[in-house]
Structure 1
């Protein structure tokens, strides 16, 4: 090889090394370092410590938008999730168990979204009910008591001994006339402002008259007591006398509050209960999953799989109940329009709501059968047993929500 060729080769080699050096320098410049461990990062997460490169220090409105997007924006997964959730029992759960998850909304996010919408809508529909309905519900107890008192007065009149001046019968007739007038006023349409005032005043007067007759709130049959002993007190052997006294005092205050609430404005208590139920239902979910784990212990499924079943089944119940509630509201509004077309449309809405109500237990049965691979007979018995236990759990949850609600009033 000639000397000139050697010089050319050396120069080209040096040139190549310089190019490599320039490329490496440019890569070093473009390299991203992790803020936590200061290692080079390729991608959105550090391979060394796992920290995301996306900073949490952002404008507040950007954070709010991201949060709303995480909660409410299900993009195309929503349509692929909601349809099988309502009409294909067990499909979503089996897809999740099989590892095909990317096309569907995750179970926990699905439950949170649907439960928020359900309880929010339920609270709005209860709070937004027509005042007439609420007032008439409050009048039911008064109307019943007045009617019973009129019946008692009529019996007294038949048994009354006539006197020379007929004072006994005259007194009973006066009471009958007064309470019949109360009854007529209580049954007035209180959607009219003047009638609303009259009904409210009548209810107060009737209550006073009934209390004087010992048939109103002083009647022991109408009292509410929380006790476990013959003397009407609440106590437990494992507690000290001082603790039992505090417990009994708290129980009496709660009973008195419940008595006033149930006989006056129950709407406030309902709103309080609806505010507590979402939290209690979230606590009930893992308990229900544990129940499934115990009952279907031979299915060899993990606890998290049973929790997924609980999340999907409750999501279905909530979305169905939400649909039934909205259909019921639409039914009342359409029916109020009057006319043949409105009546037919209201009937259709009522039928759809009734069909959804019937579909809930059928759906849950089919879902259990498909997920746990059971025969019809065995599935029927386990479904009944789970249903009974769940009904008891729901009853206890409702009682806790009522007691909790009473403490907040």
Structure 2
């Protein structure tokens, strides 16, 4: 008679969770073999959104653990990184590049959103075509009346008021410039202008030929740079945008050079340690530039509200001084120096770095003028 199978009294073995990517048994929320996270982002909408931003920014929540100590505690992040406590913070190279990109975008936005060089409604062009002072006065009164009506609207927000006041100042400036031009033309008679333009009797006649091709005449370089300087003087905002476009490349050169300067000043430390100091110090500089640019734009928009504009101005001044004081405090904390030694080395390194930065900016300015 066949024996019936006896049911086992032992509980079934628990099912081992495995990595969906490589099949390795999981021992935590991450696979120790391939590094993939255990949770499935497709099961919840929140997980899918988190996965999307994580893949784009690669920061998770570490960015919030990094920015506050970076700005308020000089040298803290560098000390944590050199001590091996790194998982809670964004890596120095990634942090520096992220803040550099944001800083350049904010600075460029500030330049592009700044007061336009020409008044709205073609006022500057109308002033340029005004034949006499009376026409200039009529145009000025008409444009200012339009702005006055806009400012008198009830409930006009401060954000809209600041550009109107700025445009009013531009209209007054354009009118004054046209009046000065008309006064200058009136002071110089037409006969004097013709006499000055005519060559003196017996002078050799100079016949201008076709312009030489670039590189075939010794003065072509100076002529090209002179034209670039004139264009930059007429369009300073465009020139600054061109410089900002080249600054990321210059930072790639300045970073290792600055770390080399630190290596010369502190030869007992490894070069990579100085490179981490350079990355964190430049990351702070970009973060402070972001703060300065945002405060400047807010102060510009809040110009009609005097108390708020004053407060923003004081905050901007404090952020500017923090940009100077921060490297000294960071250097003293990382390299553990006394105050006299820290100040002396800080002044020496600051002088060298100022020369390097000035050279880089001049080169970027020259390339921008060239193009």
Q: TM bucket by the smaller chain?
A: 0.5 to 0.7
Q: C-alpha distance in 1, partners of 2:119/2:217?
A: 34
- 1:32 touches 1:42 (CA, 8 Å); kept in 2? no
Give the structure with the larger helix fraction: 1
**8 Å contact from structure 2 (residues 108, 244) kept in 1:** yes
> Any idea what SS the aligned residue of 2:167 has?
coil
Q: Does the 8 Å contact 2:119/2:167 carry over to 1?
A: no
Distance 1:94 1:33 in 2: 36
In structure 1, what is the equivalent of residue 347 of structure 2?
384
Of 56, 59, 63, 1:78 maps to 63
CA distance change for structure 1 residues 74 and 306 in 2, over 3 Å: closer, same or farther? same
The aligned counterpart of 2:152 is none
| Residue 258 of structure 1: aligned partner | 228
CA RMSD, 1 decimal:
4.7
- 1:10-409 aligned within 5 A: 69-70=54-55, 72=57, 74-132=59-117, 191=167, 248=218, 251-297=221-267, 300-336=268-304, 338=305, 343-408=306-371
The number of equivalent residue pairs is 291
SS in 2 for 1:335: coil
* Contact residue 368 and residue 379 of structure 1 kept, 8 A: yes
Instruction: State the alpha-carbon separation in 1 of the partners of residues 361 and 178 from structure 2.
Output: 34
- 1:89-132 deviations in Å (ceiling 9; x for gaps): 10000000000000111111111111111110000101111115
Structure number with greater CO (CA < 8 Å, separation at least 6) is 2
Distance 1:46 1:353, change over 3 A: closer
**Alpha-carbon distance change, 130 to 100 in structure 1, aligned in 2, over 3 angstroms:** same
TM-score, normalised on structure 2? 0.63
Task: Give structure 2 stretches of 5+ with no counterpart.
Answer: 7-12, 38-49, 125-131, 145-165, 194-214
Q: Is the deviation greater in 358-367 or in 98-107?
A: 358-367
TM-score (norm 1): 0.58
**Unaligned 5+ runs, structure 1:** 1-7, 13-22, 35-39, 55-64, 140-177, 215-244
Cα drift, residue 282 of structure 1: 2.5
Distance of 2:262 and 2:63 partners within structure 1:
27
